[in-house]
Amino acid sequence: MVEAKSRKFYDELRRYNYVTPTSYLELLGTFIRLLGAKRSEIVEGRRRLEVGLQKLLSTAAQVRGACAAWTTGSGLGLGVLPAPVPALERWRSRRRLR
């Protein structure tokens, strides 16, 4: 593939394609920097996802508690508690395994 692209480059521009040690090291440095930035982005996204899921779990527990208090305390409730969200419960069980 590189040979074909180099040949095409030469055919179109009549110039050779050279890779010097300096340019190769610059390429590696750029790759390492971009890789580090992408890893940081992924770690930050994962942290934000975990915080958001924790807030959803907390809110779901508060709503279940409020519904339970409302149905048993005042007698005006519907008598049905909301079911836990399956995806959130799976996430909670995975967190306990770690």
* 8 Å CB contact between 17 and 6: yes
Single pTM value for the model? 0.54
What pLDDT, on the 0 to 100 scale, is given for residue 90? 74
- Give me the pLDDT at residue 14, please: 92
Q: Please report which confidence band the pLDDT of residue 44 belongs to, taking 50, 70 and 90 as the band edges.
A: very high
Mean pLDDT for the chain?
A: 84
Higher pLDDT, 36 or 91: 36
The predicted model gives 38-52 an average pLDDT of 96
Give the tokens for residue 56.
Answer: 């959803």
Handedness of CA 41, 46, 47, 48 (dihedral sign): positive
